[in-house]
Structure 1
Amino acid sequence: MLDAILETPAGDVVLAPALLGGKWTTDGATTERIGPYVRKVVSRARPAGPGDARIAAEYAQAAARTVARLAPATRATILDRASALATGHREAIARIIALELGKPVRDGRGELDRVADTFAVCAAEARQIGGELLPVAGWARGVGNTALTYRAPAGVALAITPFNAPANLLAHKLGASFAAGNSTIVKAPPQAPATSAAIVALLLEAGAPVESVQLLHGDGEIGAALCAAPEVAVISFTGSAETGAAVARAAGAKRLVLELGGNAATIVCADADLAAAAKVCARTGYSNSGQSCISVQRVYVQRSCYTEFVDLMTAAVADLRVGDPLDPATEVGSMVDDQAAERVLSWATEAVASGARITVGGRRDGATLSPTVVADPPADASVITQEVFGALVSVLPFDDFDEVLATCNTSRFGLQAGLFTRDVGRILTAWRELDVGGLVVNGSSNFRLDHVPFGGVKDSGFGRESPRYMVEDFTVVKTLMLHGLSIWGEN
């Protein structure tokens, strides 16, 4: 199936089959994905039918035993092969991402490099799964006994993935779940059905048994039905805070890992290299047209260098190359659809009406929003309080470091922040005081290593996404008590 997806001739529609009950299928009705830049149908998916959630859940429950019986070394070998396949098919999958999402092919290549890394790290984590010998004989009632634990597969996992990094975020969830020994149901984003199908097919091509994964396409209705399925033991969801709350309501008493939204802040102090900071904020504020939960959104600059920074940032953003996502030279492509671009532009217009100014950008052509800088918007503007998730960055001045930390913390989100300074005291203070899951020093908020724990607080969710921490979420601790048998001594 992988070759059928990836070898679609240029200009033809890519078919995105579902994988249900151990079989790939394109039967029945289809939905079409119109590429936001090319503005024509680029992929066609088979949406889930009314009974598919039940079929998938029952099949996964029966299949879970098969996957759990694979030795960790076997799972690791398969994941290492998947890593190599991701590298080998880098160009073809990056092209599909560009067509379905308008994401520049250079960014798609980078995403596939991360997919390869993610699968490789998942392989390494599979090899580390083990347990403990518990010190039960340290207490009087434990004398004469031995107790051990190991981490067992949770059983059935549900992975609900977003559109903005559809390949790598799926690799995180599916790779970690398979490393843990689960049968996984993937609910793909409607905007990236072919990309999702390619990653699932890639794992199967690497040797994973068909019992290890199913793939369903569709909207929130199928997602809610899967969340509510009693067979599902753990749900990993990445998306908006509002949808995450709906997932939690539908799931009920299940283990949840929710990586939700953000309106990430980056602080630039006067002792920073302003030109370097401006270039980093420009590059990481508009990659994937700003459609990242940690994309640079709010930049707070010390007042003594605020005007200089705005000028440097404006110049750096103006130099970004906007255009055809299939052109390797393009740095900023389109957003996911026209409505998203129009929403972001309307928020910029709203900020200007309240006294802000646009220093560059502020134009829309279909789903493409020219990279936009909004200087000095009011604190209650939507570009500050909401998750922009688009090609717009706001820049504001600050006077006191403690006050700017408090200002950053007024957000209902708390995913990740950036800080440019040479002052170690400020670094440690920010690490302690900022209500975020991660702080990037001398970098913007938009930096992530796939083997490092990633996640937020407040409305940005809970749990951590990286293979090591996700394997823990995808497994359960099982205890063995050897009553009357002791390795510790009897007296």
Structure 2
Amino acid sequence: MDRIYEAGSLVAGNWVTDGSARERSGPYVRRTVSRARTAQPDDIAAALAYARKSAASIARLAPATRAEILERAAAQVTARRDEFAHLLAVELGKPLKDGRGEMLRVADTLSVAAAEARAIGGETLPVAGWARGVGNTAFTHRAPAGPVLAITPFNAPANLLAHKLAASFAAGNTTIVKPPPQAPAVSTELVKLLLEAGMPIEAVQVLHGGGEVGAALCAGPEIAVVSFTGSAAAGAAVARAAGPKRTLLELGGNAATIVCEDADIEQAATICARTGYSNSGQSCISVQRVYVQRARFDEFVDIFTTQVKALVVGDPLNEDTDVGSMVDDDAAERVVRWSAESGGTVTIGGSRDGAVCAPTVVAAPTPHATLVQEEVFGACVAVLPYDTFEDVVATCNESRYGLQAGLFTYDVRRVVTAWRELEVGGLVVNGSSNFRLDHVPFGGVKDSGIGRESPRWLIEDFTVTKTLLLRGMSIWGDR
């Protein structure tokens, strides 16, 4: 019998399953696959109070203790990656190969967070270098900021939860997790794994629900830091609800990849085909716009279309599938509609079967088409010609987003120019925009967000600098 996963709430140290719940229907299997208990106002109040009460006990855990727990969890994730990949496939339509890849990244993220926990330290300040500091000593250390609220998205629910929760715990904080309604089972199961690995029950809570639950948690004065990943519109709502507290926003993108005339066109087309449709294009850095120098444009479109045609589309539980379903039918319909309205030539795709969107290539859409201007977040790539390198850099910068870009060239001057001039948080050279290492800072500018993710940089945001001043005691000369 097909299992329905019951995703309970973890509130104030207790798992709760009774009460109203929201069902999740798998977009490919077309049946209910999980049921998540919806948090009520009393749950929110209890969770906030418990987070404040638990903050001190978690802060007192030694960094080595936190690191050992995260390392055990990383090993368990590796051992159970097939189980999680199956859950991602039925709950989200993510192909097994993508699900396994995500879980390997989760293991890496937990291991990196463990290493960063061991490295948290401080400074001895050179106060005696100025006359008023003579005779004194000053030190700093990084202290836990306080309760963290982690609001996570559906497209990589396990890995992005790992980034936030692992970094928060590594920093010595307790965390309230608000998972995406589309992936409650995956999120809950990962929290349970961390608890089994030894994470104290006081370190984490899980509250399911929609935007109203997230807004109520954001507004809680007990929360010290809000870490959100999602759309730009939702991020603006989170910032309004949070008010004057530290808020980290990893938002949307409209990622561009530039292919210069000196590039290996076959290599560029192959990489763009592989990274433009993984997870059905549901990634903020997924290849959405490819700008190809006009002299190589037709060649690129032909090779790219051929490569996309070779992708295996369909059942996410099939080991050979490259492209499964999108998160729901509406998302797939958006891709079809935007492609048809783009003013370009659809060389392949442009249709859907339920939530499965055929990988779509649109050649030469109009520059002001919605497909070019907004985040499609789906299985569609637009390919556009350009004439000069200066023009294409300026065109890329017209976007209100600025998360990450790709550049194919062997001209180091263009690499340096693009790194300097492109208004993005990261540039991938001889790769597409869709490449990320989980121990490297990741984040954007403009409407793509505020702050950087990856354990080291998140720990900086999840901690505060505390200073100790010793008057009349000096490790320096005192005259």
Q: TM-score range by the shorter chain?
A: over 0.9
Which residue among 104, 111, 130 is the counterpart of 2:121?
130
- Inter-partner Cα distance in structure 1 for 2:15 and 2:306: 50
Q: Which residue of 2 is the match for residue 100 of structure 1?
A: 91
2:32 is matched with 41
| 46-55 vs 315-324, which moves further | 46-55
Bigger shift: residues 50-59 or 60-69: 50-59
Distance in 1 separating the partners of 2:257 and 2:200: 44
Output the amino acid matched with 1:304: A
Secondary structure of 2:40's match?
coil
Tell me the equivalent position of 1:238. 229
Structure 1 position 53, deviation (Å)? 1.5
Compute the displacement of 1:60 (Å).
0.4
- 2:88 aligned partner, one-letter code: I
Shift in Å, 1:454: 0.3
Counterpart Cα distance in 1 of 2:463 and 2:41: 30
User: What is the match of residue 275 of structure 2?
Assistant: 284
Which residue type is aligned with residue 57 of structure 1? L
Looking at structure 2, the residues matched to 30 and 412 of structure 1 have their Cα atoms a distance apart, in angstroms, of: 37
CA RMSD of aligned residues (A): 0.6
2:160 is the alignment partner of 1:169: yes
Secondary structure of the residue that 2:466 maps to in structure 1? strand
Q: Which of 341, 346, 349 is matched with 1:358 structurally?
A: 346
> Can you list the C-alpha shifts for 1:401-453, whole angstroms capped at 9, x where unaligned?
00000000000000000000010011100000000000000000000000000
Find out whether 1:156 has 2:144 as its counterpart: no
1:445 aligns with 2:436: no
Q: 2:409 aligns with which of 407, 421, 435?
A: 421
Name the counterpart of 2:391.
403
Deviation for aligned residue 1:155:
1.1
Q: Please list the CA deviations of residues 117-156 of structure 1 after superposition, one character each: whole Å capped at 9, or x if unmatched.
A: 0000000000000100000111111011111010000110
In structure 1, the residue corresponding to 2:153 is in which secondary structure? coil
Aligned twin of 2:7: 16
CA drift of 1:14 comes to: 1.1
Paired residue for 2:467, among 457, 460, 479? 479
Secondary structure, counterpart of 2:209 in structure 1: coil
- Per-residue CA deviation, residues 154-208 of structure 1 (Å, 9 max, x unaligned), is 1100000000000000000000000000000000000000000011111111101
How far apart, CA to CA, are the structure 2 residues paired with 1:98 and 1:55? 33
- Give the superposition deviation at 1:81: 0.4
Q: Secondary structure at the match of 1:45?
A: strand
Matched, 1:263 2:251: no
Q: State which of 69, 72, 77 in structure 2 corresponds to 1:86.
A: 77
Partner of 1:338: 329
1:202 to 176, 190, 193: 193
CA distance, structure 2, for counterparts of residue 291 and residue 452 of structure 1: 21
Distance 1:426 1:45 in 2: 50
Identity of aligned residues (%): 69
- Give the structure 2 partner of residue 187 of structure 1: 178
Q: 1:306-361 deviations in whole A, cap 9, x for unaligned?
A: 0010000000000000010011110000000001111111101111xx3x110000
Is 1:464 the counterpart of 2:452 in the alignment? Answer: yes
Letter of the structure 2 residue corresponding to residue 269 of structure 1: C
Alignment of structure 1 residues 291-330 onto 2, 5 Å: 291-330=282-321
Q: Tell me which amino acid in the other structure corresponds to 2:295.
A: S
Unaligned regions of 5+ residues in structure 2, if any?
Answer: none
Unaligned 5+ segments in structure 1 are 1-9
How is 1:64-83 mapped onto 2 (pairs within 5 angstroms)? 64-83=55-74
Give the TM-score, by structure 1 length: 0.97
| Distance (Å, rounded) in 2 between the aligned partners of 1:255 and 1:456 | 17
Runs of 4+ that moved beyond 4 A: none
For residues 70-102 of structure 1, the C-alpha deviation after alignment (integer angstroms, 9 at most, x for no partner) is 000000000000100110110111111111100
How many Å apart are 1:25 and its aligned residue?
1.3
Does the residue aligned with 2:276 lie in a helix, a strand or coil? helix
CA shift digits 1:361-400 (9 cap, x unpaired):
0111000100000000011101100000000000000010
The DSSP-based 3-state class of the residue aligned with 2:41 is: coil
Number of matched residues? 479
Which residue identity does 1:426 align to in structure 2? R
